[in-house]
Structure 1
Amino acid sequence: MRLVYFTLICLFIVSISFCLGQEKRNTLKKPVNILFAISDDQSYPYAGAYGNKTVHTPAFNSVAKQGILFTNAFAASPGCAPSRSAILTGRYPWQNEEAGGHQTLFPLSYKVMVDVMEENGYFIGYTGKGCAPFNWKLSGRKRNPAGPAFNKIRYSNENELPANGISGVNYSANFEQFLSLKPKDKPFFFWYGAFEPHRRFEQGSGLKAGKKQEDVFVPGFLPDHTPIQTDIMDYALEVDWFDYHLGKMIKSLEEAGELENTIIIVTSDNGMAFPRAKANCYEYGIHVPLAISWPREIKGNRVVDDLISLADLTPTIFDIIGITPEGMKPITGKSFYNILSSNKQGLIDPTRTAVYSSRERHSSARWSNLGYPIRSIRTQDFLYIRNYTPERWPSGAPQMLNAHDPSQMENMYGLNAEGKFEEKAFWDIDAAPSKTYLIENHAKKEVAYYFDLSMAKRPKDELYDIKNDPYCLKNLANSPAYAKKLEQLKNKLTEFLKETGDPRHVGPDPDIFENYQRFSIMRPFPKPDWIKQDE
């Protein structure tokens, strides 16, 4: 009988211990809110927390101060659509079929992070720009991959906006509406996707708003001339607008008592819409700002230098909230929850040795709608870029056919019927005063160098010493001193692409991305001289 009592007592103690342990685990996995803020075309280091004086970003700075400022975050693509799909799938663009392209379909078979979160009890929504530009309706989807839209509240008076070209969607007011509709017993995931600082900008708006020319930071691949400085000030004003609404959202969270238990992630989809930045796998095309805070769990005021891919966000979020990616394609990104939960800063995870990026077709910029395929690998010290079609123009063809007379070719630029300057070439660079300046002055000695950096053809292999050449100006691929490093990075990139099933390296059709339908404008271009006459 004593043995029975003893056994019962032991079982009771074990059960109590198990319950206490289970309660602790449940506390660690307590449902947490997530506010994901993503700007449209913002390069590192254009945020105040990085020391940049051109922009005014108190909200980003606050998130960085309360949490972690990342110095080495990279987009999976230098273009918005493939970058955003990589975030939501946790997979690299080359793994996502049409969803790895631009102005294409987003196949229904690619279940995304927000769908899984909704199935696990999260209240979800987005404002502004979701996962775009895709034709998700023709894919059979009933909503944008980022979730249900909250875009109905708009500014009624244009005078409330700081410049022309800025979206009339009142992002923060829509977020407040989202919070008011959230059931009390549910955590939320909200995607705040500003349309800023996407082109076009109101010329002179930055200077008009009080920005100072002497504070402007011009990266080394652009001439430090007044038209470029003015363009960057206009860009910076739109970065400020994105940050302004983020600040209002943070205040709403604080007033609702939700701030302590909300993870705030602030980043951008790709780099700034300037020549040699956006749509390029150079630093200013893929290197983006990133700050993450979670007052309840993350030790703040830390700076982390580990290499982070935005494709790592989905597995990290799943790791934090303790759910599995049921129904999703296999995730390639790697969780960095170990970094978030650490008390350290600097370099934390020694296994993070590289990040990868890619691009295929961006705009309609070449004959037969061809793209400019690139793959890249970025380590702490080096960036290696592989250009698969060096015979093509990287920023688009320098001439196009006259749509009214296909036998005639139009030059790089000219005047339209209204007598205004009109760009007619290099369509893989967004229309911009900086682009115009390079084209109009390309024959001048002080500009020709920068024009060639952005528009001239490129070799198959490019290698840059990022520590000493952050603007990617000196290609070391042909230097004997870097031959070993070049071979090492080429092999590592190829191995990763094969391992992750890149069609450019495995499968029957390496050019499959050229064949996906594009749902946007198609421009006419002359047949290039490297195309066989019978094609």
Structure 2
Amino acid sequence: MKSLLLASFLFFSSLFATKAQSKQPNILFLIADDWSFPHAGVYGDPVVRTPTFDRLAAEGALFTNAYTASPSCSPSRASILLGRYPHQNGDGGNLWSEFPNAHPTYVQILEKAGYFTGATRKGWGPGEFKVTGFEHNPAGKSFADFTAFLKERKAGEPFTFWFGSSDPHRDYVANTGIQAGMKLENVVVPGFFPDNDCVRNDILDYYFEIERFDRECGQLIAMLEEIGELDNTIIVMTSDNGMPFPRAKANLYDFGTRMPLAIRWPKKVKAGTVIHDFVNFVDFAPSFVEAAGLSKNSMSGQSLWALLAGEKQDRNQVFLERERHANVRKGDLSYPMRAVRNQDYLYIWNPMPERNPVGDPTVHQSVGQYGDVDHSITKFLIMAMEGKAEAGQPDLFQLSFGLRPEEELYDVKKDPYQLHNLADDPAFSEMKTVLRQQLLAWMEETNDPRFEDPRSTFWDQVRYTPDYQMKDIDWQKQIEEYRIRPPFGSVREIPCLPSSQQ
């Protein structure tokens, strides 16, 4: 009799545990590669079509002030996985680094707790992870696609899956946007670009890849619906850093750090929620771990669920940073930046202003001239503007490729493209001091090595894993050969030579 009761107890205990485990939420993390805010339909962009992102926003929460921890692939993704700021991740604060192994990722924590984990395409990276002891990419075991992952998953097993698209990273196939029916005249051109058809065409090609990412995300969500797991899955759709254009990606201005973000989870997120508070990508990992009922002890980020439930939090500002992006300065030098952004101002501290923020004007190792900016027709056209700034107009070459002062301050409401530095304006002296003190207090609190030693060479010396040597590019030839080719065999072909050479 006792043995029968014991057997019954064990059976029902096991059944209860299985059901309890099955109620743990799944996590589907959808991350683009180089997609900036506000390039989505729900944010009001007049051109790009993002029905999947817009749906998640309508059925969940839309964030208007979500910021990457660093505007560079590897450090951004490391902070997502670890819930820690880039300067807390050692080597992981650089692009093309080695993944740090001192603290667990949210994937490891969930896997240890019984989650089935996986990833496809671009996980953490670029860089190396096996040298620090990882058997697979820190984002999860590699699968060919979401279908293969779901086939291998056991029934009722909670899962976390990372879908890492390579869109809208460069290179682009020229004219894909315009040939998909998008209109040059509808593009909103950021104020730090020249406004001409060739730049507009480049932006359309970027939009084309955003739309492709959006479609693929929609296919994954449809699979969740088919297996009946949609409402038990936390779906996050975002990007790692800003668009691959000058003064965007690898910069702490908004087009480098401010990200599209939508989260759907009916259990915790009311449909149609809009969050204007500031959130940082270090908040993802503690949110996922907390949702699974697990400990997040080593993380610096703050879980998002209380915020999404309406709790008032201290989220009036966000702190940003970057170190070495590509290896584009003689001596393998980093370009350190730290910043604080609130609703009214962006304050940036450049502790080594003598270094070029976008790299040397001739190639050191990677990419080419000014190698922290991906090659593009937009980049080359701005390079062609060197020394040709018109009186009363912003010097676009200087803004993208010139040296910067140690301090920058922007009124983001009056100057949304951050073109006019107010750091030396006496009228903003008090505000600059307040923001500088906030930034330094955060650096001290989070043990940023640059608080004690602003000119630390730690990130200069971190290994850059590629061993290739790239060459300078003939950018003038690239301009000469670039043509806008509208669809349907139109006779109109638009060249991109600077006006002085046409």
TM-score relative to the length of structure 2: 0.86
Report the equivalent of 1:442.
Answer: 386
Query: Which structure 1 residue ranges, 4+ long, deviate > 4 Å from structure 2?
Result: 26-29, 521-525
Displacement of 1:118 after TM fit? 0.5
Q: Which residue of 2 aligns with 1:399?
A: 362
Residue 261 of structure 2: aligned partner: 290
- The answer for the alignment partner of 2:490 in structure 1 is none
Q: Distance in 2 between matches of 1:493 and 1:522?
A: 37
Distance 1:486 1:365 in 2: 31
Q: Identify which of 58, 63, 66 aligns with 2:56.
A: 63
Q: Quick one: distance in 2 between partners of 1:125 and 1:399?
A: 41
Q: Unpaired runs of 5+ in structure 1? A: 1-22, 152-173, 343-347, 404-422, 526-535
Partner of 2:377: 433
Which residue number in structure 2 is paired with residue 338 of structure 1?
306
SS in 2 for 1:477: coil
Name which of 117, 125, 130 aligns with 1:132.
Answer: 125
Could you report, residue by residue, the CA deviation over 1:477-500 in whole angstroms, capped at 9, with x for unpaired residues?
Answer: 111111111001111111111111
Tell me the residue number matched to 2:226. Answer: 255
Query: Are 1:378 and 2:341 matched, yes or no?
Result: yes
Code of the residue aligned with 1:441 in structure 2: it is M
Identify if the C-alpha distance between structure 1 residues 95 and 191 changes in structure 2 by more than 3 Å, giving closer, same or farther.
same
How far the C-alpha of 1:296 sits from its partner, in A, is 3.6
Larger CA deviation: 425-434 vs 349-358: 349-358
> Which runs of structure 2 are paired with 1:495-534 in the superposition (5 Å)?
495-506=441-452, 510-521=456-467
2:279 to 308, 314, 317: 308
CA distance in 1, matches of 2:210, 2:225: 23
| 1:440 Cα deviation after fit | 2.4
Question: Which residue of structure 2 aligns with residue 242 of structure 1?
Answer: 213
Equivalent position amino acid for 2:343 in 1 = Q
Cα distance in 2, alignment partners of residues 45 and 63 from structure 1:
16
Could you tell me how far 1:28 is from its partner in structure 2?
Answer: 12
Task: Deviation per CA, 1:358-416: give whole Å up to 9, x if none.
Answer: 11111121111111110111112111100111111111111347x9xxxxxxxxxxxxx
Unaligned 5+ runs, structure 2: 1-15, 472-502
Deviation for aligned residue 1:107:
2.7
- Determine if contact 1:73/1:288 at 8 Å carries over to the other structure: yes
Matches within 5 A, 1:36-185: 36-151=29-144, 174-185=145-156
Tell me which of 23, 29, 39 is aligned to 1:30.
Answer: 23
| 1:101-156 deviation per Cα after TM superposition (whole angstroms, max 9, x unaligned) | 111111322321100001111111011100101211222211101010113xxxxx
Question: SS state of the match for residue 369, structure 1?
Answer: coil
Partner of 1:476: 422
Taking the aligned partners of 2:207 and 2:445, their CA distance within structure 1 comes to: 40
Structure 2 vs 1, CA of residues 400 and 243 (structure 1 numbering), >3 Å: closer, same or farther?
A: closer
Partner of 1:457: 403
Match of 1:367 in 2: 330
| Higher Cα radius of gyration | 1
Query: Helix, strand or coil: the match of 1:82?
Result: helix
RMSD: 2.2
Task: Specify the SS of the correspondent of 1:143.
Answer: coil
Question: Judging changes above 3 Å, is the alpha-carbon distance between structure 1 residues 424 and 294 closer, same or farther for their aligned structure 2 residues?
Answer: closer
* Shift in CA distance, 251/524, structure 1 to aligned 2, threshold 3 Å: closer
Distance 1:226 1:217, change over 3 A: same
1:270 aligns with 241
Contact 2:363 2:370 in 1 (8 A): no
Gap change, CA 1:506 and 1:448, over 3 Å in 2: closer
User: Among the aligned pairs, what percent are the same residue?
Assistant: 42
Structure-2 change in CA distance of 1:393 and 1:183 (3 Å): same
2:156 counterpart letter in structure 1: D
The separation in 2 between residues aligned to 1:429 and 1:215, in whole angstroms, is: 25
Q: Secondary structure at the match of 2:97?
A: coil
Secondary structure of 1:192 counterpart: strand
Cα contact 1:106–1:135 (8 A) shared by 2 = yes
Give yes or no for contact 1:364–1:523 (8 Å, CA) kept in 2. no
| Alpha carbons 2:23, 2:232 under 8 Å: kept | no
1:448 Cα deviation (Å)? 7.5
**Could you tell me which residue of structure 2 aligns to residue 193 of structure 1?**
164
